[in-house]
Chains A and B, each alone.
Chain A
Amino acid sequence: MLLFYLFGAIAVGASLLVVLGRNPMHSVLLLIVSFAALAGLYIGLEAPFAAVVQIIIYAGAIMVLFLFVVMLLNAHREDDAPGARPGLAHGPLRAGAVLALLLVAELGWALTRAGRGEGDLLASGPGADPAALQSVRSLGNVLFTEYSLAFEVTSILIIVAMVGAVVLARRES
């Protein structure tokens, strides 16, 4: 329980600093810290596999790409980045506010439902038993049988994104 609060506090604190910080490079690093704290929370939930995969994929692979982009843009501070404005335009601000409200509402809904013990995806599926969840074998079984549609749709999404990136990159020549 102590570890839960420790990792939770790190995750929330680091995430806040990511948003509030003025230095993009420091923001990227703090996001990595936040992801690592999430991995700590997964270990607390007795899901070491999820924790390690969180580190490999998010903290390892994806954030390296983020770092790459920030490094190449060479924006040392948000203020002197090219095209920086003193404040955000009203359009993006409104859209952001709507999305934030939506997220809070969804979170609240999910939390109240979880509190009453319904709507829990894992409570009904084949991976209901948390001891089974930590085993890679059962995770794989669930992924390729019960949730195979979601799995395939996700992979198509990723392929589309990859093809799009290649097309964008090749357009110049």
Chain B
Amino acid sequence: MIPVYVAQLGMVLAVFVMLLLSAAVMVYSERKVAAFIQQRYGPYLVGPRGLLQPIADVIKLMFKEPLRPVAADKAIFILAPILSATAAFAAFAVVPFGGESTFFGLLDEPIKLQVADVNVAVLVVFAITSISVYGIVLAGWSSNSKYSLLGALRSASQMISYELSYGMALASVLVLAGSLSLTDIVNAQQGAWLGFIPRWFVFVQPLGFVIFMIAGVAETNRAPFDFPEAEQELVAGYHTEYSSTAFMMFFLAEYINMVTAAAVAANLFLGGWHGPFLPEYLGWIWFLVKIAAILFFYIWMRWTLPRLRYDQLMQFGWKVLLPLAALNLIVTAAGVIYLGN
């Protein structure tokens, strides 16, 4: 029998490695889906069907020369990518990805499939998201380059603007579930209505889900909200001056942030690891399927929609998304009080 703390450490390691791998899978699928949408082949030379392309990319990036502008603020320039990557990994720590498990009898007592079960998990994710702005802002400022600085400023204002709608969409789910713990929220979506419609919050909160997804795309700086790195105007935005492993860390952070955002959305709105046909201990398969579906949607959107104009972004965020999110929250709260759960 393996003691529980060893299992917990193993879980930390497993989540870390899985997140790293998920970034590699995301890079590959992004390029393949993009190629499919644009009627190209995509990567196909490295390994069977180009499957080893992400590894080739990593090796290439690692052997690039690390560059740093002379006028850069050295300490902050080095700190920024570390902050980005750390925040990206840290956010996933509170995300549960399955029910309790003994790992086929390896453990005496079942442990939760989650690194840390915090009773304010939803807010922790939100807090780490708000901290991750600093990685981008500091990268842009410390590079001492106008393109980087503009990218950083855009990113900061965009993330502050959309954070509000993100939080309000999240709050309406909290009101429904009556808990701040992600595990409780997922378990509140167990079962089905009329025997076949799953009790997922997306069916009660369709508007909340749409707002959450849009704000999530803006928070992760993905197209059509990829202003911080708008290449036509800003060269590469906040990471213009970065190369080699430092650049790789920003790259990694972006993809892991997407995975985390998708995982949180799956937990909040799509019932997490609950789903029909599969027994409880295989729930993580449902979880992975849901994450994959959301991530595919992200990629699909990037290669379908053109980038908005900056004023459109701000108009949409403050004048459309935020009022809708506030209205949604009020209606939800009123509904919960009126119908008495």
Interfacial residues, chain A to chain B (CB-CB below 8 A): 25-26, 29, 32, 48-49, 52-53, 55-56, 59-61, 64-65, 67-68, 71-72, 136
Complex A-B: 18 CB contacts under 8 Å: A26-B75, A26-B76, A48-B120, A49-B180, A55-B131, A56-B130, A59-B127, A59-B131, A60-B130, A60-B133, A61-B163, A64-B134, A67-B137, A67-B156, A68-B157, A71-B149, A136-B120, A136-B180
Pairwise interchain contact B124-A52, C-beta atoms closer than 8 A: yes
- Looking at the assembled complex, report how far the CB atom of B326 sits from the nearest CB atom of chain A, in whole angstroms: 15
Interface code B291-326, partner A: CB below 8 Å = 1, 0 otherwise? 000000000000000000000000000000000000
Residues of A within 8 A of B162 (CB): none
Alpha-carbon distance A169/B274, docked complex (angstroms): 51
Query: Which residue on chain A has the smallest CB distance to residue B119?
Result: A48
Residues of B within 8 A of A136 (CB): 120, 180
Interfacial residues, chain B to chain A (CB-CB below 8 A): 73, 75-76, 118-120, 123-124, 126-127, 130-131, 133-134, 137-138, 141, 149, 152-153, 156-157, 160, 163, 180
Alpha-carbon distance A29/B73, docked complex (angstroms): 13
Alpha-carbon distance A55/B134, docked complex (angstroms): 13
Pairwise interchain contact B133-A68, C-beta atoms closer than 8 A: no
Residues of B within 8 A of A55 (CB): 127, 130-131
Pairwise interchain contact B76-A29, C-beta atoms closer than 8 A: yes
Pairwise interchain contact A52-B130, C-beta atoms closer than 8 A: no
Alpha-carbon distance A39/B226, docked complex (angstroms): 32
16 additional contacts, CB 8 Å, given A25-B73, A55-B130? Answer: A25-B76, A26-B76, A49-B120, A52-B120, A52-B123, A56-B123, A60-B131, A60-B133, A61-B130, A64-B130, A67-B141, A68-B153, A68-B157, A71-B149, A71-B153, A72-B153
Residues of A within 8 A of B75 (CB): 26
Residues of A within 8 A of B119 (CB): 48
Query: Which residue on chain B has the smallest CB distance to residue A68?
Result: B156
Residues of B within 8 A of A32 (CB): 134
Going nearest first, the 3 A-B pairs with the smallest beta carbon separation are A60-B130, A55-B127, A52-B123
Alpha-carbon distance A38/B157, docked complex (angstroms): 26
Pairwise interchain contact B123-A61, C-beta atoms closer than 8 A: no
Residues of A within 8 A of B160 (CB): 61, 64-65
Query: Which residue on chain B has the smallest CB distance to residue A49?
Result: B120
Query: Which residue on chain A has the smallest CB distance to residue B141?
Result: A71
Query: Which residue on chain B has the smallest CB distance to residue A72?
Result: B153
Pairwise interchain contact B130-A59, C-beta atoms closer than 8 A: yes
- Looking at the assembled complex, report how far the CB atom of B188 sits from the nearest CB atom of chain A, in whole angstroms: 16
Residues of A within 8 A of B76 (CB): 25-26, 29
Query: Which residue on chain A has the smallest CB distance to residue B71?
Result: A76
Alpha-carbon distance A133/B138, docked complex (angstroms): 36
Residues of A within 8 A of B73 (CB): 25
- Looking at the assembled complex, report how far the CB atom of B214 sits from the nearest CB atom of chain A, in whole angstroms: 20
Alpha-carbon distance A153/B109, docked complex (angstroms): 51
Alpha-carbon distance A87/B153, docked complex (angstroms): 32
- Looking at the assembled complex, report how far the CB atom of B72 sits from the nearest CB atom of chain A, in whole angstroms: 11
- Looking at the assembled complex, report how far the CB atom of A31 sits from the nearest CB atom of chain B, in whole angstroms: 12
Pairwise interchain contact A49-B123, C-beta atoms closer than 8 A: yes
Q: Known: A49-B123, A52-B120, A136-B180. Contact between A64 and B133, CB under 8 A? A: yes
Alpha-carbon distance A65/B160, docked complex (angstroms): 9
- Looking at the assembled complex, report how far the CB atom of A44 sits from the nearest CB atom of chain B, in whole angstroms: 15
Q: Among B120, B157, B163, which residue has the most Cβ atoms of chain A within 10 A?
A: B120
- Looking at the assembled complex, report how far the CB atom of A10 sits from the nearest CB atom of chain B, in whole angstroms: 16
Alpha-carbon distance A71/B139, docked complex (angstroms): 12
Alpha-carbon distance A47/B157, docked complex (angstroms): 30
Pairwise interchain contact A64-B156, C-beta atoms closer than 8 A: yes
Alpha-carbon distance A29/B118, docked complex (angstroms): 27
Query: Which residue on chain A has the smallest CB distance to residue B132?
Result: A60
Query: Which residue on chain A has the smallest CB distance to residue B152?
Result: A71
Residues of B within 8 A of A59 (CB): 127, 130-131
Query: Which residue on chain B has the smallest CB distance to residue A60?
Result: B130
Query: Which residue on chain B has the smallest CB distance to residue A67?
Result: B137
Pairwise interchain contact A56-B180, C-beta atoms closer than 8 A: no
- Looking at the assembled complex, report how far the CB atom of A123 sits from the nearest CB atom of chain B, in whole angstroms: 24
Alpha-carbon distance A60/B128, docked complex (angstroms): 8
Alpha-carbon distance A72/B153, docked complex (angstroms): 9
Alpha-carbon distance A136/B163, docked complex (angstroms): 21
Q: Among A56, A59, A61, A72, which residue has the most Cβ atoms of chain B within 10 A?
A: A56
Pairwise interchain contact A56-B149, C-beta atoms closer than 8 A: no
Q: Known: A64-B133, A136-B180. Contact between A52 and B127, CB under 8 A? A: yes
Alpha-carbon distance A32/B75, docked complex (angstroms): 16
